[in-house]
């Protein structure tokens, strides 16, 4: 083999194709996400007409507002079922779980009165009848069961815990659940080991017997979400030990066709047949649901408010012969899921799409030849990159690649939109784009870099490039190009003007470097000596410019070598301490009382649009005033706030310590007793702030300063997150750190002090283990994990941690705010008790 053959285009292309093929076999998430995006676009671009027989009754915000907080008394549900039954609804899918008895508080008193009446020995028939009638009226479960029995057309949900069973069930399923199992389960001819539907190891949330025994049918409502939290598939069947249970959607479709579980035929590994309907599924009997886009602003299905029907505003006759789905859509009720046509869809709406997909046979099928098509496309692209691409010119190769990419995308979307077939062609498309890009880059670097470098190194080219960069404001690039030119008078003039531009941008260190470079060639050129001296003085001096003009204000250069340091309000600015998300932090001094302060600035014109500045400014000073009310040894003290030169600023206590960020690394963790002392102080500070009705909203290690020698803790940035959480910045960035946010903060709900305690629990977990409790590859997946997934046990990551610390973290990280610590003082007490056990 010739030397360098492995650097040839065909060899590089071969390696790319093999690596990409291996990544596809491993089903890397980045490739899977491409397929999901293409699938969603294909669904959105497909046109189908939804079933007109389906109507949605939404338990929406209007209904909650008028009928009271959720959960409602079950007599309200009973009245809705009676109303729909009177209106002639064909079948009702009620997505409310009735897994626990509902005992009205008044019923307990009626039972006590009955007991007293029976013990008295005196019989007053009228009183006995009244007590009986009152008991029946208050027994909402009996009222609901009677409504279900009268209607005879209601399907209820239950859920299963997904997972392969390890033994036998604790108890047999109730008869009213077991009767819904499908008996006609077959194997395809010659298939001795068929693929099974998703397994379930435990039955969850079945209706209580009193209610479940009166239903027409029960189906599972167990969602199988994709990695991105999306709902794209419906598990038509679940396998519970040796029984097979249909979904609510399949039960509703069956009952609307006057069919029972006996009319459902399952062929393992192939599909489901419902009467005369053949439902195409994947081998696990999961249907690729069709999601209907609707018509403009009009939703795909008719949606009615529960309250409008309950109050009689909408006549029940509208639902005659309809499949009526009753479920929650109000904020905070149920888990919204992402679908191809909506970023967040309520379960009842998802169910409507699924039932219509079954009845209209609108579902996407992966054909049996899909695997061959994917392999063929991959081989075609591989052969193109290995054999043809190396012999094509750049323009021709771009044209061929474009034609192949369009062909792949067109095949994908035509199959989906016209044939309802899903063939995964994004992997070959990604291989085509990535392979073309890498090979083009390699060709440029190997064959053309030498010529370009030679041209760029010529004096004239560098001079022209330097002038071009300087004209575009890229002064560093201009300096680099000018230094490649031979130093003569013309280049010295250019360098001098460039140094002046550095000064105009207040980059005095870079101006000094340019002057020094010139001085090495000619120390007597113009006034270089004087400018070098001034640049050195100005390197440690902060220059404040008026936003939008670039002119310097608040600073005067005196005659000779003297420099007047700039003023910001009444504070003399000494030097820059660092940069934050919204501006710069400076070290300052109050000359009247010689107090050293830290000055945090926000460049309003640079971070916000013109129409937002007034609102943001008002919020800035309101939050500064709020934070300034706080007077606690563990909260940074706010001295002053003001505005100057389009800079809003806050003057606060200057802290000598460092933030806790470096102590979150696994190799820099503090001892457990010190971590507990730190978090105790933070919890007490938050307890005081919450008592003053101030919520921090951005508790994280970077906002907690720690002075190691005195072991003192200071909380900073109170209210800063709220200043910008409803405003856009020029970069589109919103302040706040998602990894530390509580579930309610991520969902946009109103937060209180318990949200800060959740964030403090995340920080305690990280300081103790060196890891965050919730980690994900994408923002959507991270938000889903924080809202739904349990955090790992800290002792699994660090076995030497005390159990009491794990208990504190578990309580602080509870998903529901009501289950967390109610106050920071309560958390601090538990932390102190744990610290005593650690140091004992």
Residues marked as catalytic: 698
Query: Residue 6, Cβ neighbours under 10 Å: how many?
Result: 12
> What pairing do the DSSP bridges indicate for beta strands 712-715 and 556-557?
unpaired
SS3 of 57, please? Answer: strand
Query: Residue 443, Cβ neighbours under 10 Å: how many?
Result: 16
Rounded-to-10 torsion of CA 340, 343, 346, 347: 40
User: Hey, what long-range contacts does 166-170 have (CB within 8 A, 24 or more apart)?
Assistant: 166/201, 168/241, 169/202, 169/203, 169/240, 169/241
Encoded tokens for 519: 């001085």
| Residues 6 or more apart in contact with residue 552 via CB below 8 angstroms | 506, 543, 544, 545, 546
Query: Residue 148, Cβ neighbours under 10 Å: how many?
Result: 28
Of 454, 618, 447, 658, residue with least CA distance to 9:
447
Encoded tokens for 729: 């910045």
Alpha helices in 472-540 (DSSP H): 475-482, 489-504, 508-521, 528-538
62, 291 Cβ separation under 8 angstroms: no
Q: Give the start-end residues of each E strand in 163-291.
A: 185-187, 199-204, 217-220, 233-235, 237-240, 243-246, 264-268, 271-274, 277-280, 286-289
- Taking the C-alpha atoms of residue 656 and residue 639, their distance in angstroms, rounded to an integer, is 17
- Taking the C-alpha atoms of residue 409 and residue 429, their distance in angstroms, rounded to an integer, is 8
- Taking the C-alpha atoms of residue 195 and residue 189, their distance in angstroms, rounded to an integer, is 13
> What pairing do the DSSP bridges indicate for beta strands 658-659 and 199-204?
unpaired
Of 86, 63, 89, 87, residue with least CA distance to 76:
63
User: Hey, what long-range contacts does 460-464 have (CB within 8 A, 24 or more apart)?
Assistant: 463/491, 463/494
Encoded tokens for 258: 């006057």
| Residues 6 or more apart in contact with residue 95 via CB below 8 angstroms | 157, 221, 248, 325, 326, 327, 328, 347, 348, 351
Longest dimension (CA), the chain: 123
- Taking the C-alpha atoms of residue 223 and residue 667, their distance in angstroms, rounded to an integer, is 40
Of 384, 351, 163, residue with least CA distance to 252:
351
- Taking the C-alpha atoms of residue 21 and residue 14, their distance in angstroms, rounded to an integer, is 11
385, 436 Cβ separation under 8 angstroms: yes
Rounded-to-10 torsion of CA 689, 765, 758, 728: 90
- Taking the C-alpha atoms of residue 411 and residue 425, their distance in angstroms, rounded to an integer, is 8
Encoded tokens for 398: 């771009």
Q: How many residues does the chain have?
A: 840
- Taking the C-alpha atoms of residue 725 and residue 734, their distance in angstroms, rounded to an integer, is 6
Rounded-to-10 torsion of CA 565, 566, 569, 573: -60
Percent helix, strand and coil across the chain, each to the nearest 5: 50, 15, 35
In the sheet with 363-364, reading across from the earlier edge strand, the strands are 233-235, 286-289, 363-364
């Amino acid at each position: 083999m010739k030397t360098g053959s492995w650097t040839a285009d065909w060899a590089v292309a071969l390696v790319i194709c093999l690596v990409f093929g291996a990544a596809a076999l491993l089903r890397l998430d980045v490739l899977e996400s491409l397929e999901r995006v293409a699938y969603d676009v294909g669904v959105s671009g497909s046109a189908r007409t939804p079933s007109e027989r389906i109507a949605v009754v939404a338990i929406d915000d209007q209904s909650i507002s008028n009928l009271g907080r959720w959960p409602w008394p079950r007599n309200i549900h009973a009245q809705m079922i009676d109303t729909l039954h009177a209106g002639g609804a064909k079948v009702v899918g009620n997505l409310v779980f009735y897994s626990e008895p509902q005992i009205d508080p008044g019923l307990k008193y009626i039972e006590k009165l009955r007991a007293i009446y029976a013990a008295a020995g005196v019989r007053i028939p009228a009183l006995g009848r009244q007590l009986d009638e009152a008991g029946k009226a208050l027994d909402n479960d009996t009222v609901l069961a009677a409504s279900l029995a009268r209607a005879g057309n209601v399907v209820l949900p239950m859920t299963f815990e997904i997972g392969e069973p390890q033994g036998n069930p604790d108890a047999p399923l109730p008869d009213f659940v077991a009767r819904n199992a499908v008996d006609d389960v077959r194997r395809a001819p010659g298939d001795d080991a068929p693929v099974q539907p998703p397994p379930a190891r435990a039955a969850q949330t079945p209706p209580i017997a009193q209610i479940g025994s009166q239903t027409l049918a029960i189906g599972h409502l167990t969602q199988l979400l994709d990695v991105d939290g999306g709902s794209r598939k419906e598990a038509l069947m679940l396998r519970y030990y040796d029984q097979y249970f249909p979904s609510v959607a399949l039960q509703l479709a069956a009952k609307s066709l006057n069919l029972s579980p006996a009319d459902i035929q399952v062929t393992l590994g192939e599909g489901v047949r419902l009467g005369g309907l053949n439902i195409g599924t994947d081998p696990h009997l999961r249907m690729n649901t069709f999601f209907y886009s609707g018509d403009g602003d009009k939703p795909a299905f008719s949606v009615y408010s529960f309250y409008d029907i309950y109050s009689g505003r909408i006549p029940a006759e509208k639902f005659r012969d309809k499949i009526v789905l009753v479920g929650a859509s109000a904020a905070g009720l149920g888990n919204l899921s992402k679908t191809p046509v909506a970023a967040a869809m309520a379960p009842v709406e998802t169910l409507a799409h699924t039932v219509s997909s079954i009845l209209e046979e609108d579902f996407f099928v992966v054909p049996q030849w899909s695997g061959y098509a994917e392999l063929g496309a991959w081989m075609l692209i591989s052969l193109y990159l290995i054999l043809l691409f190396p012999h094509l010119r750049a323009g021709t190769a771009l044209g061929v690649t474009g034609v192949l990419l369009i062909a792949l995308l067109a095949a994908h979307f035509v199959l989906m939109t016209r044939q309802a077939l899903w063939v995964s062609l994004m992997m070959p498309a990604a291989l085509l784009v990535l392979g073309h890009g890498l090979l083009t880059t390699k060709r440029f670097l190997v064959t053309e870099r030498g010529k370009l470098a030679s041209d760029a190194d010529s004096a004239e080219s560098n001079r022209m490039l330097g002038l071009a960069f300087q004209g575009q404001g890229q002064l560093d690039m201009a300096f680099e190009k000018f230094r490649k030119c031979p130093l003569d008078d013309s280049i010295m003039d250019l360098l001098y003007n460039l140094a002046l531009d550095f000064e105009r941008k207040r980059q005095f260190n870079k101006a000094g470097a340019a002057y020094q470079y010139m001085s090495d060639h000619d120390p007597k050129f113009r006034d270089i000596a004087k400018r070098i001296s001034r640049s050195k003085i100005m390197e440690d001096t902060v220059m404040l410019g008026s936003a939008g003009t670039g002119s310097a204000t608040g600073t005067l250069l005196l005659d000779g070598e003297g420099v007047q340091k700039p003023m910001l309000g009444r504070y003399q600015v000494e030097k820059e301490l660092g940069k934050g998300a919204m501006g710069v932090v400076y070290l300052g001094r109050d000359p009247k009382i010689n107090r050293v302060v830290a000055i945090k600035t926000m460049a309003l014109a640079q971070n916000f649009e013109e129409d937002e500045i007034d609102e943001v400014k008002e919020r800035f000073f309101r939050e500064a005033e709020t934070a300034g009310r706080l007077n606690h040894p563990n909260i940074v003290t706010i001295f002053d706030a003001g505005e100057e030169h389009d800079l809003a600023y806050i003057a606060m206590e200057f802290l000598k310590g460092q933030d806790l960020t470096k102590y979150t690394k696994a190799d820099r963790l503090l001892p457990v007793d010190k971590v507990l002392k730190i978090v105790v102080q933070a919890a007490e500070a938050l307890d005081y702030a919450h008592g003053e009705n101030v919520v921090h909203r951005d508790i994280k290690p970077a906002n907690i300063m720690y002075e190691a020698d005195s072991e003192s803790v200071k909380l900073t940035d109170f209210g800063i997150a709220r200043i910008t959480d409803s405003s856009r910045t020029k970069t589109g960035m919103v302040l706040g750190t998602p990894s530390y946010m509580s579930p309610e903060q991520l969902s946009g709900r109103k937060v209180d002090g318990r949200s800060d305690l959740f964030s403090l629990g995340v920080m305690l977990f990280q300081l103790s283990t060196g890891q965050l409790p919730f980690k994900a590859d994408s923002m959507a997946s991270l938000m889903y994990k924080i809202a739904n997934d349990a955090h790992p046990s800290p002792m699994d990551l660090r076995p030497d941690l005390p159990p009491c610390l794990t208990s504190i973290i578990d309580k602080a990280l509870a998903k529901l705010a009501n289950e967390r610590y109610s106050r920071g003082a309560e958390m601090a007490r538990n932390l102190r008790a744990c610290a005593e056990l650690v140091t004992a």
